[in-house]
């Protein structure tokens, strides 16, 4: 069998809150193959977002290891980890995290600018992606001028700008009505099928989880 794209080995994460210690994840292990679609399901506070942040190198585990494409994230220097996040991983956050002073195209192109890709190349790809997500006519609109569903689609286009191998989506339908949310899931699954991108979605929505061929249930920081 080929090596998994992503491997988490006995991950634990504990936060200190004054004299208290809050265990958010407890010895979580999982492997995700290239091109896989995995749903992380669980109630609010089950550890889904924390696990996504660890898998994407946005946070470090209290114990355990994360391997991406054969590399141990803990052994990467900060510059190497930053480059990995920028080039190989696309993040879709529940809160969108768009910069309000920038228009849709500028927001989408930010990761490409950070990667120092030529501006014409980045803008051409940004326009292509915005058209792909149905926002061809909203390219010049500021983030605050867009609806919630439109902002989420901008966030998806931004996650794809550097052609990542892995997309991590944290409750991508959590702030949307059911119709718009269904469109977002259709978009993500379609892009995954077209480009063989590995997709991990954290959700508490059983309907969204049912779209994934593989579901991992988190309960109190453990895999059920």
pTM of the model: 0.90
Picking from 46, 7, 24, 52, the residue whose alpha carbon sits closest to that of residue 159 is 52
The rounded percent of the chain whose pLDDT value lies above 70 is 99
Residues 6+ apart with CB under 8 A from 200: 32, 37, 38, 39, 40, 52, 55, 166, 167, 168, 169
Q: For residue range 108-162, what is the model confidence (pLDDT) as tens digits?
A: 999 999 999 999 999 999 999 999 888 999 999 999 999 988 998 999 999 999 9
Q: Of 156, 161, 154, nearest to 113 (Cα)? A: 161
- Contact, 9 vs 64, CB < 8 A? yes
**What would the mean pLDDT of 186-205 be, rounded to a whole number?**
88
Q: Write out the two tokens for 191.
A: 């892009």
Cβ-contact 12, 61 below 8 angstroms: yes
What average pLDDT score do residues 47-57 get?
A: 94
Q: List, in order of start, the domains of the chain with CATH numbers.
A: 33-60+78-223 (3.40.50.300)
Predicted local confidence at residue 190, as pLDDT: 86
């Amino acid at each position: 069998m080929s090596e998994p794209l992503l491997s988490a080995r006995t991950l634990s994460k504990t936060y200190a809150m004054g004299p208290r210690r809050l265990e958010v994840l407890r010895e979580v292990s999982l492997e995700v193959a290239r091109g896989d679609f995995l749903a992380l399901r669980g109630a609010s506070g089950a550890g889904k977002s924390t696990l996504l942040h660890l898998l994407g190198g946005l946070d470090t585990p209290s114990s355990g290891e994360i391997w991406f494409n054969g590399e141990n994230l803990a052994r990467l220097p900060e510059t190497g980890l930053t480059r990995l996040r920028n080039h190989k991983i696309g993040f879709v956050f529940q809160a969108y995290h768009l910069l309000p002073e920038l228009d849709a195209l500028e927001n989408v192109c930010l990761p490409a600018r950070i990667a120092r890709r030529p501006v014409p190349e980045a803008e051409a790809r940004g326009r292509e992606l915005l058209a792909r997500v149905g926002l061809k006519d909203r390219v010049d609109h500021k983030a605050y001028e867009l609806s919630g569903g439109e902002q989420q689609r901008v966030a998806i286009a931004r996650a794809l700008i550097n052609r990542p191998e892995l997309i991590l989506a944290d409750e991508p339908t959590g702030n949307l009505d059911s119709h718009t949310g269904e469109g977002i899931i259709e978009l993500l699954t379609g892009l995954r099928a077209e480009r063989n991108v590995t997709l991990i979605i954290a959700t508490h929505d059983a309907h969204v989880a049912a779209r994934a061929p593989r579901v991992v249930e988190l309960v109190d920081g453990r895999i059920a």
